[in-house]
């Protein structure tokens, strides 16, 4: 499986050298992380809607805008582990 996993996964463990049990562990880890980060994003969006325009823009720039890319990266990692698990 040539997924480029070395480029998107962290640490020394890779899908190529992992057991199904370890892959299931990492898949669960990333799925929980995705859910957690998605909840944070939703909360930030809700809170920022009650802020002043200037405050909301600051939250948008520093916190909300980068979050979808982070979640997408975690989804890619989960997909790699899903193939092994």
The answer to whether 8 and 14 are in contact (CB under 8 A) is no
> Model's pTM, two decimal places?
0.82
- pLDDT (tens digit per residue) in 18-75: 888 988 999 999 999 999 999 999 999 999 999 999 999 999 999 999 999 999 999 9
As to burial, measured by CB atoms within 10 angstroms (0-12 exposed, 13-18 middle, 19+ buried), residue 65 is: exposed
């Amino acid at each position: 499986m040539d997924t480029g996993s070395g480029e998107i996964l962290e640490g020394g463990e890779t899908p190529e050298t992992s057991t199904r049990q370890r892959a299931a562990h990492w898949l669960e880890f990333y799925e929980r992380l995705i859910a957690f980060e998605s909840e944070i994003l939703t909360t930030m969006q809700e809170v920022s809607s009650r802020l002043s325009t200037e405050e909301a823009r600051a939250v948008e720039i520093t916190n909300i805008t980068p979050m979808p890319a982070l979640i997408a990266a975690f989804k890619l990692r989960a997909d790699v582990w899903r193939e092994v698990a």
